[in-house]
Structure 1
């Protein structure tokens, strides 16, 4: 059964927010991370990263993979943040409007970064990503049974 410390959960959540994909090596209790190939399709793997991927291919049951949220999940987090934390009606309306546009995440981030909610959003999003990592641990453990 896979279990992570709060420090490991925090580290994985931070890496996912940076656009990485993480692999937890169960026997060595070690976290490996590399750019998510969906975000960095021109990225050349380092020899160490290639070695890790070879190890994963050879022994997939020894690794738990952690991935970032899908776009609809990210949108839900943004909507929840607006509903629960943003008190200024005009800003809330602008943020909701941003979510309906192409490149909605960029538009949302631009508006948040120009507001007093920048730090609150960063903390909120990180806590939701920590929950997401824990959900992935639960899914991994459920699949193992």
Structure 2
């Protein structure tokens, strides 16, 4: 049964938001993070990161993998934030418009960062990612049964 404390959940959520992928080493209760291949395909792994990947290949049952949300989940999170938190109609319309275009998250971030909602968005997103990490823990535990 995989069980992480709030500090560990917070750490993993923070790393996922930064574009990392995390592996929780069950026997040592240690979190390893490295760039997600999809985002950093030109990134050269360090020797330590390569060693961790080798360990994961040798003993996959000793590691729980945590990944970022899928683009559709990220989109829904941004849409929900606009619907629930943004009170100014013009900004809400601009954000929804940004979400309807290519590179939606980039446009959304640009508008949010220039608004009074920047800190609230960061807190909201962090909370949603912490919930996402907990869902992945539940999924890991369910698949172990």
What range is the shorter-chain TM-score in? over 0.9
Equivalent pairs, count = 145
Who is 1:120 aligned against?
120
> Partners in 1 of 2:32 and 2:42 — Cα distance?
20
3-state SS of the aligned residue for 1:33? Answer: strand
3-state SS of the aligned residue for 1:2? Answer: coil
Residues 10-62 of structure 1, C-alpha deviation per residue, up to 9 Å, x if partnerless? 00000001110000000000000000010000001000000000000000000
Q: Give the RMSD, CA atoms, in angstroms.
A: 0.3
> 2:101 aligned with 1:110, yes or no?
no
> 2:62 aligned with 1:62, yes or no?
yes
> Partners in 2 of 1:19 and 1:41 — Cα distance?
12
3-state SS of the aligned residue for 1:31? Answer: strand
3-state SS of the aligned residue for 2:15? Answer: helix
3-state SS of the aligned residue for 2:39? Answer: coil
Who is 2:97 aligned against?
97
> Partners in 1 of 2:38 and 2:71 — Cα distance?
13
3-state SS of the aligned residue for 1:45? Answer: coil
> Partners in 2 of 1:56 and 1:43 — Cα distance?
19
Superposed counterparts of 1:1-145, under 5 Å: 1-145=1-145
3-state SS of the aligned residue for 1:108? Answer: helix
- TM-score using structure 2 length: 0.99
- TM-score using structure 1 length: 0.99
> Partners in 1 of 2:134 and 2:80 — Cα distance?
19
> Partners in 2 of 1:66 and 1:106 — Cα distance?
23
Which structure 1 residue ranges, 5 or more long, are not aligned?
Answer: none
> Partners in 1 of 2:36 and 2:82 — Cα distance?
28
> Partners in 2 of 1:85 and 1:126 — Cα distance?
15
